[in-house]
Amino acid sequence: MSFKKHLIISIVIRIFLVYYGEVQDSLSEIQYTDVDYRVVTDGASHVLNLNSPFKRHTYRYTPLLAYLVLPNLLLHHSFGKFVFSLFDIFIGVLIKWILLNCYRGNKISIEKKLLKLETLNNRNKYLIKRKNEILNSNNETLPPKYIRMAEISAYFWLYNPLTMVIATRGNGDCVSCSLVLASLYFLLKNEQTVLQFFTAGIFLGISIHFRLYPIGFCLAFYLTTLDKQLETIKDHLQAILMPNAKQLALVAGTITSLTVSTGLFYYLYGYQYLYESMLFHLVRKDTRHNFSLYFYQQYLSSNFDISLLEKILTFLPQLVLIVIITLRYGKHRQTVGFALFAIAFVMVAYNPVVTSQYFVWFLSLLPLSVKNFKNIGMRKAVFIPVMWFISQGGWLLPAYLLEFRGWNTFEFIWIQSIVFFFSNILILQMLVTNYDMAYNYKID
């Protein structure tokens, strides 16, 4: 089947899940619709009445999300689910575009090198003409197998049952994920123009406005724009402190979009907007819906203020890992996709609050590196997702008994949170170990 047919099938499945959710909500005590969807819809109702969406208790998102689901109140209460599903589909399209662009860029790079060698030894007019054509064109035709690989990678997202359910339940994290991928698409375009990097920065800034987690990608984006290899500490310091035009364009785009969006809503809604949509997430506690390793600590200290030292010790491990991953994989166009995946994975695994919708942060980036795991083997390829889902299931059972049966299962949830954390660490270790960096396009 063609890629378009797969897109149509993916859309149909998501439409079915939206309507299935309507039935489950009416029949079961376990609601299919995400509670956050109802919160955002309530926030939209305040906006419709020309008030602040933050009048709705627990509304802690950008006001843009409330504006996006205004048709929930004007057309149909599930309209927002269809909108989020479209963003979900668009992520699959962006994955294909990014990979095709990477393949094309690698192909052009290799052909340039080959033709350079040939023209040095042979001043044939055809070779010189061919070299000039490649230098002036970034749209070289790819063999079908590479197009097929890009499409297969996109299917890992389009047919992922977890991400489909999260979007059709009414969670808006697919919006921020699509913005991150759009930013990465422009960052890796082969034209390498200043405008291109400014556009990448615009999308990166908006994605940070929607969700704070893309802040962790900034250094990788910044270093990827370099035109030279970084080996010594001096090279790294110069790359950071002495930016080139591309880096300046990227930073300018990011600051512009983030400042404009944040400033606009600060003007409209004041400090409450800053606190609820941004600052709150830095001090957030969640003693019920939380996969985090720090779950039980938060539960026991829910009536106490966390000290500055505790906050530092909580965020320091992920900060160190983010820097290490960035310096290992985030400096090259060929590996930046895996760098973003690993960074997002670390940020979720080590975060003080972890909910299922956070998983789309790294799941949307994983398909970019599917091609690099060709040698992982069938055993590990099956073991990794099975272990991940089983460790989640072990957490969900005591969480269900607590939430819906009123059983005191806090200690069991804590134990399963530890199991889930170490499962994540093991999975990341296996993926890093089996990641093959040598995937550059080979001339057939």
| The predicted structure's pLDDT at residue 185 | 95
pLDDT attached to residue 289 = 64
Angle, CA 153 vertex, CA 341 and CA 191 arms, to 5° = 75
What pLDDT score does 132 carry?
56
Query: Residue 122's pLDDT is what?
Result: 53
374-390: per-residue pLDDT in tens? 788 888 889 999 999 99
Dihedral, 130, 134, 139, 142 alpha carbons, nearest 10: 70
Q: Which residues contact 328 (CB under 8 A, 6 or more apart)?
A: 339
Burial bucket for residue 74 (CB in 10 Å: 0-12, 13-18, 19+) = exposed
What pLDDT does 76 receive?
92
Report the pLDDT value the prediction gives residue 128, as an integer from 0 to 100: 56
pTM: 0.88
Q: Say which residues have a Cβ less than 8 Å from residue 178's Cβ, sequence separation at least 6.
A: 87, 90, 91, 94, 364
Mean pLDDT by runs of 10 across the 444 residues of the chain is: 93 96 88 92 94 91 94 93 96 94 69 50 54 50 82 94 93 94 93 91 96 94 81 75 89 96 93 87 68 80 72 86 92 90 95 87 93 85 91 86 80 88 94 78 42
How far CA 335 is from CA of 282, 331, 377, in Å, comes to 29, 8, 21
Domain range list for the chain: 1-32+77-170, 173-283, 287-443
pLDDT at 138: 47
pLDDT tens for each residue of 416-429 = 889 999 999 999 99
